[in-house]
Amino acid sequence: MRKILIAVLLTSLAACTGKHLTCKTSHDENFEHFFAHWITDKPFSLQRTKYPLKLIYYPDGDEPTSVQIDFISKADEVNQPTLKDYESKHGLTHTIKPQDKNRVIVSIFMPDTDWLYEYVFIKTNQCWFLEEVHDYS
């Protein structure tokens, strides 16, 4: 189930590298509107993720000495369900935690368990993109 969540999380992400990110807007994008679209629209989520996506594991909780890093490609994500579908199927929920005007962390978790992922979104040129995922499970 963990691998499926990682794949879904990453599949729900964008299919772009840092220099080929797709977004055209004349105003700052509202994060809540962006995220509502991102979790339900697969092509949009793939477009608005920076690939290769950095996946950071914390095998011993959040201890920095045990960090493992992996990278996910767009090809790994294409056939995965949207994050919204995955949340519904597995009883997951999320909370949105703004860090500042250009960085938001979305916690994806299963209530009353130690299952926790944090998606880090950053705003670049007025548009939001998924930059990395932290796995604390």
Residue boundaries of the structural domains of the chain: 2-135
The domain defined by 2-135 folds into Nuclear Transport Factor 2; Chain: A, (3.10.450)
Q: What share of the chain is helix, strand, coil (3-state, %, to 5)?
A: 30, 35, 35
Residue 14: Cβ within 10 Å count: 25
* pTM for the full predicted model: 0.82
Q: What is the CA radius of gyration of the chain?
A: 14
Q: Which of 41, 42, 51 is nearest to 15 (CA)?
A: 51
Alpha helices, H only, 18-109: 31-38, 42-47, 74-77, 83-90
For residue range 57-96, list pLDDT tens digits in order: 998 766 667 799 999 999 999 999 999 999 999 999 999 9
- The span from the CA of 2 to the CA of 73, in Å, is 17
Average pLDDT over all residues of the chain: 85
Give the model's pLDDT for residue 66.
79
